[in-house]
Amino acid sequence: MTKTRFLALVTALALLIAIPTSVFAQRVPPHVFVGSATLDGVAAADGAAVTAWIDGEQVEATTASNGEYSLIIDQEDSSYAGKTISFKISGSDAAETASWMQGGGDILDLNAATGSGTVSAGSDGATGPAGPAGMWGRAGADGADGAAGAAGAAGPPGPAGSDGNDGSDGADGARGAAGAAGASGSNGSNGAPGADGSDGGGGLGVIALIVAIVALLAAGGSYMMGRRA
């Protein structure tokens, strides 16, 4: 059991040594106590309160585990130097006391009897200094894309655009088919009478008369054909 308490004390002191010296630059090294906690002759139950008192004020508290305890009595200055420390187990006074010493470390077995002290609520301990800030964790993975939102309402119609330019003239159309022939015109007026011919010979006159009659008949026939058409 003594070996176990000694290892606990060494561990507590090692933790204090591991604290950066910058922390001790503004604080006085604490006094560490470890040992057994016995109440009414038996090991204190797990979770039993073990408290330390100086000048009637509670200065530190812990809980028993497997009949053992560990207390680190800290201060902001050296006002505790040489002062007597008393202890309580579950509110009962322990028979053992000790003197606070800067940077001290003791194995102190505590023994208390029920009814040896008044159980009262301890005063709030002093607020300890804030610990150093931890390291930033790695950024988490991107979350999945959210569902697409609903379509927004249609906007109002825009203003009417300006008139476009006139188009160019189209190409000329194809020529239409020839129309039907028109009706024949009316007969022209009679021409002026011809000049009198010279007196011909007898045979030539007859021939000329025959030719004139044939020409007249031909002209009349042509006229009649034109009328029929």
Kindly report, residue by residue over 55-70, the tens digit of the pLDDT. Answer: 999 999 999 999 999 9
The per-residue pLDDT for 120 is 47
The per-residue pLDDT for 119 is 43
How do residues 120-157 score in pLDDT, each as one tens digit?
A: 444 455 565 665 666 666 677 777 888 888 888 888 88
The per-residue pLDDT for 62 is 97
d(CA 126, CA 59): 8
Kind and range of the H or E element at 38? strand 28-39
Q: Which residues pair with 43 in a beta bridge?
A: 38
Ranges of residues in the chain whose predicted pLDDT is under 70:
1-27, 76-78, 117-138, 185, 187-188, 191, 194-203, 219-229
d(CA 77, CA 83): 13
CA dihedral 211, 214, 220, 224 (to 10 degrees): -150
Q: Quote the tokens at residue 86.
A: 């008393």
The per-residue pLDDT for 14 is 55
Domain ranges within the chain, ordered by starting residue: 2-112, 200-229
Whether CATH 2.60.40.10 fits 2-112: yes
Q: Which residues pair with 86 in a beta bridge?
A: 53, 97
The per-residue pLDDT for 142 is 77
| Spacing of C-alpha 180 from chain mean position | 85
